[in-house]
Amino acid sequence: MGISRSLSQLLLICCLLWPAVASAQVADSEAQQLLTTLADASFAEKRQVVNRIADSGDERARYWLESFAANKLGRIEASGQFIVILENRGRDWTVENALTRENLGEISRRDLDTIRVNNALRTELESILSVIDLKSPDEDNRLTAARALKGSVDDTLAERLPELIDAEQSESVQADLIEALAIYRVEEQGDVAAVATLSGSLNSQARAALLTAMRSDNPELVAAAEAAMERIDQKLKLNRAAETLYFGLSLGSVLVLAAIGLAITFGVMGVINMAHGELIMLGAYTTWGMQQLLPGQPGLALVLSIPAGFLVAALAGIAIERTVIQHLKGRPLETLLATFGVSLILQQLVRTVISPLNRTVITPEWMSGSVMINEALSLTLNRMYVIGFALVVFAGLMLIMRKTRLGLEVRAVTQNRAMARSMGIKATKVDIMTFGLGSGVAGLAGVALSQITNVGPNLGQNYIIDSFMVVVFGGVGNLWGTLLAGLSLGTINQLLEPWAGAVLAKIIVLVIIILFIQKRPKGLFPQKGRAAEG
């Protein structure tokens, strides 16, 4: 009884699977028939067969036609099995089954019959191959193929495009096909009506076609092309402005990361820490070191570098505070000189232990590349991650300052150290924790910087002066001021660099800050409390 039931279930499954198996066999039999017709047809008839293969919708059609155009499609004379030649050197050629892609090993070339192609048919094949992906069921494949047609449409292809445009269901693919056809009509036919289609296009081939039209003898065509180019130039300016703003925000986010730890320590302790840049450097070298411990896994190494970089820089900062700064409290000039000496020691230590040469940190695959907004604007992913990382760190610090006991004590000591002591707050402990927190954030800045620049002993020196400018501009000890100041100075610097140069841009920014401080000596967001009155 159980055996008969199992047999009946097996029979039912076979019946259900039979249509799929049969259809696969039918598809292969139709493919075999198409290739047989292609092999036996005359050169005049082969064009029709090639079009039938291209229109078949078979995923292998491109593979067959490319092999045919390269004189690598053939069949075994004895069995009639169609093959693709992989290597045609010597007497024995390496081949694979054209239908299944199964490697058949080496077969004597005398046993193979290659399907011949002439130059006229090869030219026809180029046009057919250029549009075969436009019939793919995958919209992304069709979109890529449509974009690739811009500037490469010939007479034969131009005749087929209107039909393809009418049949296309996707608006984005259809728009690219229309633009590709318009480029051809402007370049080859001087079509004034087609110029309107290219108006505002950011494609380089479209701009090239309009420049060609502007040299035409037809005044109407020239006028239309000039008007279209003017609209394109306006859009390009807007995209360049957006790109500059993006780079400015990414530079500003780096400045925020570099300065936000300094803002905390400076606000609480009044310490001018010239070794802050070297704490950034330690965070960057921690990222490099993690990649040495985990070779071949840059993504995992980067993720682990976030807590590791924080801890390394925080411990180094606490060591600096306990050995140097605690003995110089209330003497800012002495702390400036002492921490400057510490910075030199740390730089030389790295040169001696690791190397004086720059080290490259591998960017993970998920941070590589860019996001294309349009054909004139793309945003690099590594800078996008740095901006997001800076905002996350800022949000974390705000939570610590607003929602934890440490944050409450830090704010109390910042506003009035003597009163905080009288209320039972251990100011020395707060100083240690604050300096460790600020130094750890500097380490996080180094982790982020390792993804956009080389890691070297002098890495921190490039950001220490800018960090102090951000702190002073934003208001000593104010996190919101640091965020706004960092993003503002980064954007202003990026806007000035194209026409003023890197050095002069920094000078102009410095002059702007000096003039601003003359009007608001305490920065954008001054401290509150009795400490602000002193």
Residue 431, in any domain of the structure: yes
Candidates 308, 320, 306, 337; CA nearest to 265 is 320
What CATH code is carried by the domain that includes residue 384?
A: 1.10.3470
C-alpha 89/C-alpha 102 separation (Å) is 20
Chain mean pLDDT for the chain: 83
Measured distance CA(195)–CA(34) in Å, rounded = 42
Cα–Cα distances in Å, from 267 out to 72, 322, 410, 474? 74, 18, 9, 12
Dihedral of alpha carbons 324, 326, 328, 332, sign: positive
Considering the domain boundaries, does residue 318 fall inside one? Answer: yes
Q: Are strands 112-114 and 103-108 parallel, antiparallel or unpaired?
A: unpaired
CA–CA separation, 482 and 474 (whole Å)? 5
Domain holding 469, by residue range, is: 250-533
Residue 360 lies inside a defined structural domain of this protein? yes
Q: What pLDDT shows up at residue 307?
A: 94
Query: Is 356 part of any domain?
Result: yes
Instruction: With respect to residue 185, please indicate whether it lies within any of the assigned structural domains.
Output: no
The whole-number pLDDT of residue 27 equals: 62
Share of the chain above pLDDT 70, in %: 93
279 in Cβ contact with 313 (< 8 Å):
yes
- For 90-136, write each residue's pLDDT tens digit: 888 999 998 888 998 989 888 888 888 888 788 778 777 777 778 77
The pLDDT value recorded for residue 6 is 45
Interatomic CA distance for residues 72 and 120, integer angstroms: 17
Task: Give, in order, the Cα–Cα distances in Å from 216 to each of 150, 185, 212, 219, 258.
Answer: 21, 14, 7, 7, 56
Residue 520 has pLDDT above 90, yes or no: no
Res 71 pLDDT > 60: yes
Our count of domains for the chain comes to 1
Confidence check: pLDDT of 500 > 80: no
Whether the per-residue pLDDT at 390 is higher than 80: the answer is yes
On whether residue 437 sits in a domain, the answer given is yes
Q: Is residue 67 part of a domain?
A: no
pLDDT for position 315: 94
Q: What is the mean pLDDT of residues 72-83?
A: 88
Q: Range with the lowest mean pLDDT among 24-33, 260-269, 320-329?
A: 24-33
pLDDT at 12 over 70: no
126 found inside a domain: no
How far is the C-alpha of 330 from the C-alpha of 312, rounded, in Å? 27
